[in-house]
Structure 1
Amino acid sequence: MRAERFVISDRSWQILEPLLPGSSRSRGVTAKDNRLFLEAVLWKVRVGGPWRDLPPGFGVWNSVFRRFRRWAEADVFQRIFDVISGEPDFEYMLVDGTIISAHQKASGAKGGLENQAIGRSKGGLTTKVLALTDALGNLVRFALLPGQRGEITGVPELIEGLTFNAFMAPSHGLKANHCRATDKAFDANHLRAELHRREADAVIPAKRNRILHIPHDAEAYKWRHLIENYFSKIKEFRGVNTRYDKTDTSYRATWNIAATMIALR
């Protein structure tokens, strides 16, 4: 196996190693080749190839896959990201959604497409990722929704338990050819009422069809490009930009792995 296939630097490994199950610093049995395993998972996330095509230097593909699933189901990758991402700057938060095309091989999991956050629309199978970043454009949380689902339905999950000064989001939904319709996005009375209850400013441009126009801070709204920049960065990972994972658990783990590598840069 060629050395250039490895992407975890020694500096990053020093940070990651104690956070992994079975590390040399934890009690109990030490896991075998944690670094090699993580490199194998990163190959899958970066390339987006099938597990069966995992280069043999990373180990037996099925063993790596089963271990990945165990860690994903135990929220290991989520906990790693939470530690690596650090303390967010909530001077204001930015929320937006992006549509991800799901590969045809991503269908077929138990429970049906909807239960795995996959929607079926004119353009095929899609997953909508609703992301929340802090004032610096760093990812804090994200939620997976079926592609045709309205973005605003994922907001309660994202902001639960968080304290922030301002909430910044677009007024209109995603406009993509494969969406059934543009959703209502975030200019909704009930969301504005919830933000008012939290004493947070709503930096949300009003829809054109509002009877009474609601002003917003146009200068502050210019910073919304930070979350769009984040989408651009994380979509450099092919396993993120196209969903190949059948289950929402695995795809959520894929996002957390990619987000962890971005946070380590």
Structure 2
Amino acid sequence: MEAERLVLRDDQWAKMAPYCLGKASDPGRSGHDNRLFLEAVLWIARTGSPWRDLPAAFGKWNTIFKRYRDWVKADVFQRLFDAASDDPDMEFAMVDGTIVKVHRHGQGAKGGPQSQAIGRSKGGMTTKIVALTDALGNLVRFVLLPGQRCDIIGVPPLIENLAFAGFMADKAFDTNAIIAELDARGARVVISQHPGRASKRRIDAELYKWRHLIENFFCKLKEFKRIAMRSDKTDQSF
């Protein structure tokens, strides 16, 4: 396995390492090479391959998959994300959404698709990712919705208890409720105006151009093929 095909930088790993399970200081059995395990998970996400096709250099695929599910259930990946994104630039929060198609292998979870943020839209069975990034286009929070749901219902959980000086979004998020919430917070509103809005608000057109950073984020996100096409049955794993 060539080193240049690995994903984690040393500085990222230094932030994540204390939050991994199976460290030598943890009770119980120690995990074998946590960094290599995370690289295995990232390889699956990047290539979109089935777990059975994991290269032998990472170890036994079924052992790694079981370990992955254990970490999912223990919410370890959320802690790793929080550790790696601990210094967001909240001068502006930017929000947008994207649709991902659900592979047939991602369907069939207990409770039906509606319980796993899967719904039928124009693209078939899809999941919607609504994300909030900081002013630099780095992910801060996200929510999953069934593909047919409106993006704006994802906004309240994204901004809850989150401080930011301004809010930037396209016209899909131009609603009275969102703008009233932002005005109440004293946040600067840079939301493209919906053509049907009766009372127009002035926005900074030059500042709005920086919204391309969240578009760039989604482009980078979809380089990970297992995200660009959902193959996981449960929201937890996805």
Fold match by TM threshold 0.5 = yes
Per-residue CA deviation, residues 58-106 of structure 1 (Å, 9 max, x unaligned), is 2332221121111112221111111111221111110001111111111
**Which piece of structure 1 moves more, 52-61 or 232-241?**
52-61
Query: Which position in structure 2 is the counterpart of 1:202?
Result: 189
Query: Which position in structure 1 is the counterpart of 2:68?
Result: 68
SS of aligned partner of 2:237: helix
C-alpha contact (below 8 Å) 1:18/1:25 kept by paired residues: no
2:152 is aligned with 1:165: no
Alignment of 1:176-187 (within 5 A): 185-187=172-174
SS of aligned partner of 1:99: strand
Query: Which position in structure 2 is the counterpart of 1:148?
Result: 148
Query: Which position in structure 2 is the counterpart of 1:93?
Result: 93
SS of aligned partner of 1:101: strand
Supply the distance in 2 between the matched residues of 1:198 and 1:121 (Cα, whole angstroms): 34
Per-residue CA deviation, residues 177-203 of structure 1 (Å, 9 max, x unaligned), is xxxxxxxx2111111111111111221
In structure 2, what residue type is equivalent to 1:22? Answer: G
C-alpha contact (below 8 Å) 2:131/2:141 kept by paired residues: yes
| Shift in alpha-carbon separation, 1:237–1:230, aligned structure 2, 3 A | same
Report how far residue 135 of structure 1 moved.
1.0
Supply the distance in 1 between the matched residues of 2:231 and 2:149 (Cα, whole angstroms): 20
| Shift in alpha-carbon separation, 1:7–1:202, aligned structure 2, 3 A | closer
Report how far residue 235 of structure 1 moved.
1.4
Supply the distance in 1 between the matched residues of 2:82 and 2:91 (Cα, whole angstroms): 19
In structure 1, what residue type is equivalent to 2:216? Answer: N
Supply the distance in 2 between the matched residues of 1:127 and 1:224 (Cα, whole angstroms): 23
Query: Which position in structure 1 is the counterpart of 2:117?
Result: 117
Query: Which position in structure 2 is the counterpart of 1:81?
Result: 81
In structure 2, what residue type is equivalent to 1:199? Answer: G
C-alpha contact (below 8 Å) 2:190/2:204 kept by paired residues: yes
C-alpha contact (below 8 Å) 2:15/2:83 kept by paired residues: no
C-alpha contact (below 8 Å) 2:12/2:84 kept by paired residues: no
Supply the distance in 1 between the matched residues of 2:196 and 2:7 (Cα, whole angstroms): 50
Query: Which position in structure 1 is the counterpart of 2:128?
Result: 128
223, 228, 231: which one pairs with 1:236? 223
Per-residue CA deviation, residues 217-253 of structure 1 (Å, 9 max, x unaligned), is 21211110010011111211111211111111111xx
Supply the distance in 1 between the matched residues of 2:93 and 2:14 (Cα, whole angstroms): 30
SS of aligned partner of 2:80: helix
Q: Percent identity, aligned pairs only?
A: 57
Q: How many residues matched? A: 237
C-alpha contact (below 8 Å) 1:92/1:168 kept by paired residues: yes
**Which piece of structure 1 moves more, 234-243 or 142-151?**
234-243
SS of aligned partner of 1:192: helix
Query: Which position in structure 2 is the counterpart of 1:3?
Result: 2
C-alpha contact (below 8 Å) 1:205/1:214 kept by paired residues: no
**Which piece of structure 1 moves more, 9-18 or 161-170?**
9-18
C-alpha RMSD over aligned residues: 1.8
Report how far residue 17 of structure 1 moved.
2.4
| Shift in alpha-carbon separation, 1:96–1:8, aligned structure 2, 3 A | closer
Supply the distance in 2 between the matched residues of 1:34 and 1:61 (Cα, whole angstroms): 15
TM-score by length of 2: 0.92
Supply the distance in 2 between the matched residues of 1:13 and 1:86 (Cα, whole angstroms): 13
2:211 is aligned with 1:224: yes
Query: Which position in structure 1 is the counterpart of 2:234?
Result: 247
In structure 2, what residue type is equivalent to 1:3? Answer: E
TM-score by length of 1: 0.83
